[in-house]
Structure 1
Amino acid sequence: MSEKKAYPLRISAKVLEAMQRWADDELRSLNAQIEYVLREALRREGRLKPPRAEPTEDDAE
């Protein structure tokens, strides 16, 4: 698992409330939802490399 770092975030109350509703709909914590949205935006823009696939037993043959 990758290392997690704390980062204080200033965000408008309206945006935070909307993120909380979205997180509730997706059954995620607010923090997990914010991280998910950021990660998806980074992937879409080509700024985050996809995770490496774990080797499987088939790869060893």
Structure 2
Amino acid sequence: MARKQYPLRIDPEIWEAVQRWADDEMRSANGQVEWILRDALKRYGRLPGGKRPQRGDEDTTE
């Protein structure tokens, strides 16, 4: 599968957290970002196999 390249501007603190998470999961940071995005897209019904959240189901944790 071809991959789209995209320059990402991100807060260094967020990138460090993603890198630590990737290390824990034995993934590259790029792979972790893709996994995070895919998971969020599925949860919000933006990819096949995902479900749209019902009103009140949104994750409001920060």
TM-score of the superposition, structure 2-length normalised? Answer: 0.75
Q: Return the letter of the residue paired with 1:34.
A: V
Deviation at 1:49, TM superposition (A): 1.1
Which is richer in helix? 1
Q: Residues 3-55 of structure 1, C-alpha deviation per residue, up to 9 Å, x if partnerless?
A: 211001100000000000000000000000000000000000000114xxxxx
- What secondary structure does 2:21 align onto? helix
Runs of 4+ residues over 3 Å off in structure 1: none
Q: Distance in 1 between matches of 2:7 and 2:20?
A: 21
Q: Which has the larger radius of gyration?
A: 1
Query: Residue 57 of structure 1 corresponds to which residue in structure 2?
Result: none
Using the size of structure 1 for normalisation, the TM-score is 0.77
Corresponding position: 1:45 with 2:35: no
State, as a whole percentage, how many aligned pairs show the same letter: 57
- After the TM superposition, which residues 1-61 of structure 1 pair with which residues of structure 2 at under 5 Å, given as runs? 2-50=1-49
Superposition RMSD in Å:
0.8
One-letter amino acid matched to 1:7: Y
- Give the count of matched residue pairs: 49
